[in-house]
Amino acid sequence: MSALRRLVARDLVLAIRAGGGAALALAFFAAVATLVPLGVGPDLKLLVRIAAGVLWVAAVLAALLSLDRLFQADFEDGSLDLMALSPLSLEAVALAKIAAHWLSTGLPLTLIAAVLAVAYGLPASGTVALVASLLIGTPAVSAIGGIGAALTLSIRRGGLILPFIVLPLIAPVVIFGSGAVLAELDGLANGALWFLAAFSLLAVALSPFAAAAGVRLNLGS
Amino acid sequence: MTFALDIDKLTCIRGHRVLFEGLRLSLSAGAFVSLEGPNGAGKTSLLRMIAGFLMPAAGTVCIRTEAGVALTDGEDRARAVGWLGHQDAVKPQLTVREQLTFWGQLYGGGAVVLGPFGLAPLADVPGQFLSAGQKRRLALARLTLTGRKLWLLDEPLAALDAAGKALVAETVRAHCAAGGIAIAATHEPLGVDGLSLHLGAA
């Protein structure tokens, strides 16, 4: 257990220190989320309706920015070989990397989304629903992205292919994530969050195995 | 039982080309093998096969532990292997001490030792400021940290100065003397007494 935590901590440090992907993802997210209201114009009714959709799409794209390097940096410099030989299973390595990715991008994205929602005039209840949906849904983005990152490991410029593999699988997260906020705004019964939670749990539970299989395949090629 | 490595009728095919076939090698504790051969002869492939990364086209690799357990499965063998790849796995953002501490904890090995590897003055220097030779020394220090019995070294002398090369030889000698096994793919003699296995141009 402590080895797993060590790996999460090390990946977090690498993501946060210079050259890591965390700051880039956050900057991208903040830029997109603040530019859209400026581009759309001061139609508050419209902004409230599109807030969740825009913030969700921006969050997913920002997360994808750093996802392609999830295993690749360690693959290229030989660190992944050493991890594969360590007492940790590759499944545990994959889980640690996915967890570190979520902690360094998904979680901060969720937190600043609460602030950025102000630019869209999202009411408090809508902001709470947005933060809840991001909190529940972004782990699924990191997890599914992790599978894509593992599969495209040895492909040069695999980052270009990654979105095409990952986006169809992430689409439900965006649909139900922003749907949960709209349902809240419309005062409808909100089942979307439950579906999102189920989807997220499934993705997080299964992805380490799929990602480890992808890594194993690439280490043996 | 002593620690041993048995390779039987091992065949390696890469990209439809047979690199070697029917390779046999039996090593017991204390053995050192220098793996020689021209570029592309399959030295790295053999090391990756022993470590369990590559599946052999035919044949078996078996590591026998001191407890008498035979590790034939690739995933099981991986847990007995100490790896010094041709890449140094050094992170530019982390200091020398941070990297060694991390790997030490991941492998559940002993305390971080810097002195013998000439890394003591570099303990708090980030990886990005290390020279190629210094990164190699870090990789060597990490290898000893793993506490593994079977060392697989890919071009261990690359980028090292004379003192560094002597250090590699000394470290490998000490490892073999302590009952370990080491196999090194190399283009120049390591300066350690042992067998030599020539791949390619057979």
CATH of the domain at B128: 3.40.50.300
pLDDT of residue B2: 83
pLDDT of residue A61: 92
A5–B contact, CB cutoff 8 A: no
pLDDT in tens, A141-197: 999 999 999 998 888 776 788 888 898 999 999 999 999 999 988 888 778 899 999
Task: Please determine, for residue A200, whether its predicted confidence score (pLDDT) is greater than 90.
Answer: yes
- Neighbouring CB atoms inside 10 A of B92's CB total 15
Contact state of A77 with B81 under an 8 Å Cβ cutoff: no
Contact state of B93 with A20 under an 8 Å Cβ cutoff: yes
What's the total number of domains in chain B?
A: 1
- Predicted TM-score of the model (pTM): 0.91
Residue to mutate among B44, B45, B48, B53, with most A CBs inside 10 A, is B53
B199 domain-assigned: no
- Residue B85 Cα, gap to closest chain A Cα (Å): 7
Contacts 24+ apart (CB under 8 A), A6-10: A6/B102, A6/B105, A6/B106, A7/A83, A7/A88, A7/A92, A7/A93, A7/A96, A7/A97, A7/A100, A7/B106, A8/A96, A8/A99, A8/A100, A8/A103, A10/B94, A10/B102
CB-CB neighbors (< 8 A) of A17 in chain B: 93-94
* Residue span of the structural domain in which B42 resides: 4-194
Which uninterrupted H or E stretch holds A200? Answer: helix A192-219
Arithmetic mean of pLDDT, A83-99: 93
- Residue B90 Cα, gap to closest chain A Cα (Å): 7
pLDDT of residue A1: 53
Radius of gyration of chain A (CA): 18
B201 domain-assigned: no
pLDDT in tens, B47-71: 999 998 988 888 888 888 888 888 8
Contact state of B83 with A85 under an 8 Å Cβ cutoff: yes
pLDDT of residue B4: 87
Task: Please determine, for residue A100, whether its predicted confidence score (pLDDT) is greater than 90.
Answer: yes
Residue to mutate among B106, B130, B153, with most A CBs inside 10 A, is B106
B86 domain-assigned: yes
Contact state of B106 with A18 under an 8 Å Cβ cutoff: no
Residue type, B23: L
- Structure tokens given for B29: 């504790």
What's the total number of domains in chain A?
A: 1
Query: Phi and psi at residue B147, in whole multiples of 5°?
Result: 70, 20
pLDDT of residue A186: 87
- Residue B87 Cα, gap to closest chain A Cα (Å): 5
Listed as ranges, residues in chain B with pLDDT below 50 are 202
pLDDT of residue A44: 87
How many cross-chain Cβ pairs, A to B, lie less than 8 Å apart?
Answer: 70
Nearest to B108 among A18, A84, A87 (CB): A87
B59 domain-assigned: yes
Query: Phi and psi at residue B35, in whole multiples of 5°?
Result: -95, 115
- Residue B54 Cα, gap to closest chain A Cα (Å): 5
Contact state of A82 with B91 under an 8 Å Cβ cutoff: no
Average pLDDT, rounded, for chain A: 90
pLDDT band at A209 (very low <50, low <70, confident <90, very high): very high
pLDDT band at A102 (very low <50, low <70, confident <90, very high): very high
Arithmetic mean of pLDDT, A111-118: 92
Contact state of B78 with A85 under an 8 Å Cβ cutoff: yes
- Residue A146 Cα, gap to closest chain B Cα (Å): 21
Task: Tell me which of A22 and A56 has the higher pLDDT.
Answer: A56
> Measured at the alpha carbon of residue A78, what is the angle toward residues A76 and A80, in degrees to the nearest 5?
95
B202 domain-assigned: no
